[in-house]
Amino acid sequence: MKKLLGILVLGLLLSSNAFAEKNKNTWDYPFLHYGKYEVKGSKDFYEFQSNLREDKDVLKEFKNNKKTGLISYLLFENDKIVIDVSDIPKKVSSGETIIDGLLPSHSMGKSLVSYVTGHAICEGYISSVDEKISGWDVVKNTLYEDQVLIDLLNMKAGDQKYVGERIKPRKDNILKKDKKINVNMVRLNTLMKDYFQGTKKSKPVYNYSALTTNVIMNYVIHKTGDDWEKLLHKVFNEHVKVKDNVYFSTTVKWTAEGSGRYSFYATRYDYLRIAKAMLDDWHNDTCAGKYLKTIYERRIEKKDNTKEPDGVGGYTKSYGGQIHFDIFGIENTRKIIGMDGFAGQQILIDLDNRRIIVVNSLYKNYDWKKIVWQNCRCSSGLFPGCIRHQHTKQSFLYSRLTPDSIYNDCSIFSHRVYQDR
């Protein structure tokens, strides 16, 4: 009997530990530990209108968010926020405090590097997506020298023997030669000098890699020279019109040549503002919109994708310009921009139906297919087989608070319609 009791106690302890491990935050918050390129918020920031409705599937994920990891969910359609739920902790598991509501992009920042690259082309710093990466000492005598920019944007640099997910799935930031090296924590100059001298390009195939994005970003920094931070200001302050400061991080504690890193920080509403700017660019056929259309037209097949329905990165057929396209289970005619980041960060921009979904999470245990894929698949005009569990605004309490002003006070069980002044 004692032996049986001991086994039961041990089983409970093990299951408890497993549950704790499962619910442990899977990202730290190194915001203060690295250098940053800062862009000030705009005084003329875009103000959202809201007409909120309830989605019981989203609320269910939040009600159990210690297990699901979900901390923010926004759905935007018909020029209004229609679902707005958040439960953002003050600190993460590493003990670090989340500062001013700034949330990490993780690999969604790859898509933002591409967006900035498009603006660099529009401003004349780079000739086109077909420009060769030449005359740049950082990549001299490496496989990246003389590569065409579009191949790097499409993760088709022929670097699969040295770095990327073809070496180790879901580990896009590790070098084959030294698996202790995280390419997001070492200057590009050092990586090229110590690990890539004399390397040759292999057959170009899709190879998702953090290093490739950092090559692109640092190339744009190189080409813009002293105007790099002016370009960031023009993109995010003047064009997007973010409300709060946003940041690109660096690989080291200061900003220096080759230290650019795609990691991005913004508030939940500013991620939505960025997505809306991209949506508007597409429909208004701006220069940045033409860039987005170019990378869409020149997207490539992933072919070996895992087809795992836990994020847009693993559930899309194509990749172009650091963006995931062609979601499984949604008709191929639908043009949807997909941004995917570690631990469940997601932005989906349905270009045809003018809908945006922005998700932030501590870890990826939420039901992505139910609250992201399904809400994206179900366009504004519902079609047979599409079931939605929602209530209209009549079931909500009304408030004149703006979404931004109640950022830290939004209870997941308090449903309001917000009106920006």
Contacts of 5 (CB under 8 A, 6+ apart): none
Q: Look at residue 247 and tell me if it is in a domain.
A: yes
pLDDT of residue 212: 96
Region 351-357: what's the mean pLDDT?
A: 97
Confidence bin at 25 (pLDDT 50/70/90)? low
Q: Look at residue 23 and tell me if it is in a domain.
A: no
Q: Look at residue 116 and tell me if it is in a domain.
A: yes
418 vs 41, higher pLDDT: 41
418 vs 175, higher pLDDT: 175
How many domains would you assign to the chain? 1
pLDDT of 390 strictly over 90:
no
**Residue 127, domain extent:** 99-301
Q: Look at residue 7 and tell me if it is in a domain.
A: no
Cα torsion for 114, 117, 122, 125, to the nearest 10°? -170
Helix locations, 172-267, DSSP H = 188-195, 210-224, 228-232
Helix, strand, coil fractions of the chain, as percent rounded to 5: 35, 20, 45
Q: Look at residue 254 and tell me if it is in a domain.
A: yes
Q: Look at residue 419 and tell me if it is in a domain.
A: no
Q: Look at residue 362 and tell me if it is in a domain.
A: no
Percentage of residues in the chain having pLDDT higher than 70: 82
Confidence bin at 407 (pLDDT 50/70/90)? very low
For residue 135, give the amino acid letter: G
Region 110-114: what's the mean pLDDT?
A: 98
CATH number of the domain where residue 195 is located: 3.40.710.10
pLDDT of residue 388: 47
pTM score:
0.86
Confidence bin at 24 (pLDDT 50/70/90)? low
Q: Look at residue 94 and tell me if it is in a domain.
A: no
List the end-to-end C-alpha distance of the chain, in Å, as a whole number: 69
Out of 78-87, 155-164, 302-311, least confident range? 302-311
Two structure tokens written together for 73:
């969910």
Region 91-106: what's the mean pLDDT?
A: 92
Region 145-167: what's the mean pLDDT?
A: 94
